[in-house]
Amino acid sequence: MAEPRRKPLVSGNWKMHMTHLEAINLIQKLSYSLEAADPSYVDLSVHPPFTALRSVQTVLDADDMPMSLGAQNVHWEDKGAFTGEISPTMLAKLNVSYVIVGHSERRQLFGETDEMVAKKVAAVFAARMTPIMCVGETLDEREAGATEERVVGQLRAGTAALNPEQMAALVVAYEPIWAIGTGRNATPDDAQAVCNALRAAVLADHGEAAGARLRIQYGGSVKAANAAELLAQPDIDGALVGGASLDPGELAQIVHLARN
């Protein structure tokens, strides 16, 4: 069966950066920096902090900017006594399309478990948004030769309850933890091998159509200077970009490179 073409997705994860005013400024510069044809070939999402979502949404809508709104986290319940949390419905009402789930910083610094990640993935789908589910190994796990087991285990734990349609629509971000914010990135061959193992697990568990359609991003110190080689790998369908996404020109360049 011919593999359907997967449209790359480049996502800017701003983390805890940008007030709502700075965020508006950034997306305006980003939209000027994009080339007219980029959106036909590449999907782009920006993930501001919660406090900037409404402002960014208003500007994206008013100016019809060619990018989707994303969030960095969500709670799995729809409402209730969960002080400080944000629900899937709240995000969906702001036209959020993509929600990052299980980022390694949430897992490591805020105690997010595979079980919580699975609930969040299901809740994002239930609210008709798309999860970007993150998986990744530590340096110790890589050095012990346990990378694939670790990331495939995280993938399976986070997605066991999904149906094949949801599996096909899911975005997985492979982010080696040792490569995040460190300036060190996986070699394109290493990243490809892990992304291929993730796709093989989806093929085996959920069928050929889901395996062929699932988009897998690479993340971890992606910048314009290394994006082309990573994005050229057959199982890498985009990038989750942290630090470099705070520079609109750099992010636009990564989008442009994803076209080729």
The residues assigned a catalytic role are: 103, 175
Q: How far is the CB of 164 from ligand PGA (least distance, A)?
A: 27
Shortest Å, Cβ 221 to ligand PGA: 4
Closest distance between ligand PGA and the C-beta of residue 219, in Å? 4
Provide the β-strand partners of residue 239: 10, 218
Nearer to ligand PGA, 88 or 102 (CB): 102
The answer for residues whose C-beta is within 8 angstroms of residue 188's C-beta and 6 or more apart is: 229, 230, 232, 233
Beta carbon nearer to ligand PGA, 211 or 243: 243
Kindly state the smallest distance separating residue 35's Cβ from ligand PGA, in Å: 22
Residue 14 makes CB contacts below 8 A (sequence gap 6+) with: 23, 26, 46, 47, 48, 49, 72, 245, 246
DSSP one-letter code for 113? -
57-82 burial by CB neighbour count: b if 16+ within 10 A, else e?
beebeeeebbbbbbbbbbbbeeeeee
- Of 132 and 210, nearer to ligand PGA (C-beta) is 132
Helix (H, G, I), strand (E, B) or coil at 100: strand
What is the tally of helices (H) and strands (E) in the chain?
Answer: 13, 8
Q: Which is nearer to ligand PGA, 211 or 238 (CB)?
A: 238
- Strand, coil or helix: 228: helix
- What are the structure tokens assigned to 223, written together? 């910048």
Across-strand partners of 71? 99
Q: Would you say 210 or 227 has its CB closer to ligand PGA? A: 227
Residue nearest to ligand PGA (CB): 242
- Residues of the shown chain interacting with ligand PGA in the complex, contacts defined by CB under 6 A: 13, 175, 180-181, 219-222, 240-244
CB of 225 to ligand PGA, least distance (A): 12
